[in-house]
């Protein structure tokens, strides 16, 4: 009998796995089918078949077989729902199922803790409130307190959000700017352990001196000063905190889930792409925990500025001594730009000239090189002892393609010449495309913005950029992440250079930069340039021109034969695909609830006809199944009602 049950379970597993299509292991398939066979057979035997003629096979036998099939599918669904890892991650990571479940349970506990903190500070209540300046203020305070209490990378996420004035109202920017990290320093024993494990040779053989007292400490790592034994050059050694990767993975996973919960609670949070912001931050933080990426950023920016007109220094990275967890680079002897003004005055160096050098260096990176320092705050901009400026910390860099660089150039030229059409077309190239953009309304808004900032004595930089961000939010589309990063870099740079030169004007300096680099911005300056530009454009069009006659001939032939067809890519739109996916999932849930109901009715039928000792037991299971069926179907109905409300909003 036991062998027959196992054989039936194997056959059931092979058949049902084809019906369900779930990606679980063969062992789980067999266990699910075996559990179904044992459960349904036991109920069928003790609840109905015992004491009856076993040779007869009527409607009750068919109910048993159908129930076995459906219960097997439900067990498959159970394994799919409670597998802690997504499908794509089952072949990697923690293979031990007990350790994997423990990790999953820790994430669930942390997620519940974060939700409790958020609810305690009133995030849910303030998210549902009507959007007014007062409600924005209350929500900003709630969010800041929540991120503060959650600590760790949640604080860092809030600090990043405080730079997104293109998406968030001023109330959020002001409130989130108050967030400060309180990071404990690594102990001497921890520093020694990292050095012994990660350095290619013993510490005393590599370094003549190594200061255990750190220069700075942050959430990801901390920095120490040292002297190389080989060439006696001063260096700084950046150490990755131990066990940071596991904590990072856990907190970032929870941060994304918290952002998704926030977006689910608020239409406003969905419109600004709060979940996408969290995902983007998560990807950036994962890169920052691999110092090989930062070393590559240093090398790429240094190479791009090899022919730069500016004299800005970038530290040299010692790749042979660096790896994913240790970064050894040149020590820059100087002070931050905030403290560097006194040094420049003492040496008789013009602060405005140093400011121009730093500004031109960053604009060269953005407009011409395509890779730029994404966070030039005062701590990352140094003035060396000889008065030379330097850029530090390339853990965060941005990259722009040639199309985006050209659009930024056109945006700057359009602002300079007050050309509404050029500014609007540049904006549309820099923002994520939307088919329903009100171009006429956008053109009117751009025209008004140019008029408002035309005669600003300060140059109109802040008003123009903030106006662009307000326009983007008003028309409900957003800059590409790397473009938004370029704007954030410029805004951060403006605040940094104001400390060096209080009369600094971003737009005035940008105009000067365009004039000094006019060949790069407008290459067609003379007749020779015009000819070269025309030749380049013609070369780009030649392949299209050569194919045009053949394509016109093919089109004419198809029209003549009546073979012209139109293909509509409905699922090419992410919104449509997401909509269909959500409703299919709800249909599957509705099917599951209906299946529970059908099985339960069958059990009630068996219990009613069976009589005997097991009838009450079978009837109990039947009523329990009806309850489960009702819960699932009610859940589908609630989901449908919520979606209808969201569509109306």
pLDDT at 457: 56
Angle at 557 between CA 554 and CA 560, to 5 degrees: 150
Rounded-to-integer distance, Cα 399 and Cα 248, Å: 24
Q: What single string gives the DSSP state of each residue in 451-488?
A: HHTTT-TT-SHHHHHHHHHHHHHHTT--B-HHHHHHHH
Give 308: exposed, middle or buried? Use CB within 10 Å, 0-12, 13-18, 19+: middle
Q: What percent of the chain stands above pLDDT 70?
A: 73
Decide if 240 contacts 248 (C-beta within 8 A). Answer: no
**SS3 state of residue 384:** strand
Q: Which residue has the higher pLDDT, 236 or 552?
A: 236
Which segments of 151-243 does DSSP mark as H helices, in order? 153-161, 170-176, 188-198, 203-206
In degrees and rounded to multiples of 5, residue 371 shows phi and psi of -135, 130
Rounded-to-integer distance, Cα 376 and Cα 381, Å: 6
Q: Which residue has the higher pLDDT, 130 or 198?
A: 198
pLDDT at 548: 75
pLDDT greater than 60 at residue 599: yes
Taken in order 135, 136, 141, 146, is the CA torsion positive or negative? positive
pLDDT greater than 50 at residue 85: no
Q: Which residue has the higher pLDDT, 356 or 584?
A: 356
Decide if 424 contacts 442 (C-beta within 8 A). Answer: yes
Write b or e for each residue in 232-271: b if 16 or more Cβ atoms lie within 10 A of its Cβ, otherwise e. eeebbbbbbbeebeeebbbbbebbbbbbbbbbebbebbbe
Rounded-to-integer distance, Cα 367 and Cα 377, Å: 19
pLDDT at 92: 41
Rounded-to-integer distance, Cα 272 and Cα 252, Å: 19
Rg (C-alpha) for the chain, rounded Å, is: 32
The two tokens of residue 384 are 């060396």
The two tokens of residue 625 are 């199944």
- Tell me the pLDDT of the chain averaged across its residues: 77
The two tokens of residue 503 are 């009369």
pLDDT at 234: 94
H or E segment and range at residue 286 = helix 274-288
Average pLDDT, integer, range 301-318: 90
Average pLDDT, integer, range 213-242: 89
pLDDT greater than 80 at residue 571: no
Q: Which residue has the higher pLDDT, 19 or 345?
A: 345
H or E segment and range at residue 69 = helix 59-82
pTM over 0.95: no
pLDDT greater than 80 at residue 453: no
pLDDT greater than 70 at residue 345: yes
pLDDT at 90: 42
Rounded-to-integer distance, Cα 340 and Cα 333, Å: 12
pLDDT at 427: 85
Q: Which residue has the higher pLDDT, 523 or 582?
A: 582
Rounded-to-integer distance, Cα 205 and Cα 435, Å: 63
pLDDT greater than 80 at residue 483: yes
Rounded-to-integer distance, Cα 310 and Cα 353, Å: 10
Given its phi and psi angles, is residue 336 left (phi above 0), alpha (psi -120 to 50 degrees) or beta?
beta
Q: Which residue has the higher pLDDT, 594 or 90?
A: 594
Rounded-to-integer distance, Cα 366 and Cα 441, Å: 29
CA 411 to chain centre: 27
In degrees and rounded to multiples of 5, residue 164 shows phi and psi of -95, 65
pLDDT at 91: 40
pLDDT at 125: 82
pLDDT at 89: 41
The tens digit of pLDDT for each residue in 125-157 reads: 887 777 777 888 888 899 889 888 887 778 888
Give 611: exposed, middle or buried? Use CB within 10 Å, 0-12, 13-18, 19+: exposed
Rounded-to-integer distance, Cα 528 and Cα 534, Å: 10
Bridging pattern class, strands 381-384 and 389-391: antiparallel
pLDDT greater than 70 at residue 198: yes
Q: What percent of the chain stands above pLDDT 90?
A: 12
pLDDT greater than 70 at residue 195: yes
Q: What single string gives the DSSP state of each residue in 386-418?
A: TS-EEE---SSEEE--HHHHHHHHHHHHHHHHT
pLDDT at 558: 77
Q: Which residue has the higher pLDDT, 20 or 199?
A: 199
């Amino acid at each position: 009998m036991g062998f027959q049950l196992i054989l039936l379970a194997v056959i059931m597993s092979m058949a049902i796995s084809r019906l369900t299509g779930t990606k679980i292991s063969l062992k789980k398939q067999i266990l699910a089918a075996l559990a179904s066979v044992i459960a349904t057979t036991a109920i069928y035997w003790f609840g109905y078949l015992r004491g009856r003629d076993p040779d007869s096979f009527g409607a009750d036998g068919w109910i048993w077989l159908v129930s076995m099939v459906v219960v097997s599918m439900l067990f498959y669904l159970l394994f799919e729902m409670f597998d802690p890892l997504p499908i794509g991650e089952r072949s990697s990571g923690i293979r031990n199922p007990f350790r994997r479940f423990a990790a999953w349970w820790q994430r669930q506990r942390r997620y519940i803790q974060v939700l409790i903190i958020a609810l305690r500070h009133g995030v849910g209540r303030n998210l549902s409130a009507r959007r007014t300046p007062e409600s924005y203020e209350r929500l900003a305070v709630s969010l800041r307190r929540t991120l503060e209490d959650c600590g760790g990378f949640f604080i860092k996420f809030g600090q990043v959000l405080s730079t997104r004035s293109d998406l968030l109202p001023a109330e959020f920017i002001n409130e989130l700017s108050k967030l400060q990290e309180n990071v404990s320093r690594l102990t001497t024993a921890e520093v020694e352990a990292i050095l012994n494990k990660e350095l290619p040779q013993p510490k005393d053989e590599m370094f003549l001196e190594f200061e255990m007292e750190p220069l700075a400490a942050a959430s990801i790592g901390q920095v120490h000063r040292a002297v190389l034994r080989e060439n006696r050059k001063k260096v700084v050694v950046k150490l990755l905190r131990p066990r940071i990767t596991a904590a990072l993975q856990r907190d970032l996973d929870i941060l994304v889930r918290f952002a998704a919960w926030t977006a689910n609670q608020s239409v406003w949070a969905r419109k600004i792409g709060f979940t996408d912001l969290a995902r983007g931050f998560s990807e950036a933080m994962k890169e920052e925990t691999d110092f090989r990426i930062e070393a590559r950023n240093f090398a790429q920016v240094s190479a791009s500025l090899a022919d730069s007109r500016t004299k800005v220094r970038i530290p040299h990275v010692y790749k042979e001594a660096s790896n994913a967890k240790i970064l050894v680079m040149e020590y820059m002897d100087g002070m931050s730009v905030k403290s560097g003004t006194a040094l420049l005055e003492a040496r008789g160096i013009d602060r405005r000239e140093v400011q121009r050098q730093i500004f031109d260096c960053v604009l060269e990176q953005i407009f011409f090189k395509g890779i730029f320092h994404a966070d030039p705050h005062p701590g990352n901009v140094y003035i060396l002892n000889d008065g030379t400026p330097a850029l530090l910390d390339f853990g965060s860099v941005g990259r722009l393609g040639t199309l985006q660089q050209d659009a930024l150039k056109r945006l700057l030229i359009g602002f300079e010449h007050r050309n509404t059409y050029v500014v609007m077309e540049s904006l549309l190239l820099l923002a994520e495309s939307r088919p329903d953009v009100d171009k006429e309304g956008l053109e009117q808004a751009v025209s008004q913005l140019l008029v408002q900032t035309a005669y600003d004595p300060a140059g109109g930089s802040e008003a123009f950029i903030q106006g662009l961000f307000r326009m983007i939010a008003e028309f409900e589309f957003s800059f590409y992440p790397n473009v938004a990063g370029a704007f954030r870099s410029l805004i951060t740079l403006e605040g940094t250079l104001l400390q060096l030169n209080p009369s600094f004007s971003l737009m005035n300096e940008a105009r000067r930069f365009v004039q000094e680099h006019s060949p790069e911005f407008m290459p067609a300056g003379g007749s020779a340039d015009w000819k070269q530009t025309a030749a380049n454009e013609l070369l780009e069009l030649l392949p299209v021109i050569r194919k045009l006659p053949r394509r016109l001939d093919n089109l004419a032939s198809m029209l003549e034969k009546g073979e012209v067809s139109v293909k509509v890519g409905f699922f090419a739109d992410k919104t449509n695909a997401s909509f269909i996916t959500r409703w299919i999932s709800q249909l599957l849930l509705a099917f599951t609830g209906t299946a529970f109901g059908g099985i339960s009715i069958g059990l009630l039928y068996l219990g009613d006809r069976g009589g005997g000792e097991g009838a009450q037991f079978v009837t109990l299971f039947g009523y329990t199944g009806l309850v489960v069926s009702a819960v699932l179907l009610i859940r589908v109905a609630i989901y449908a009602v919520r979606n209808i409300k969201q569509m109306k909003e």
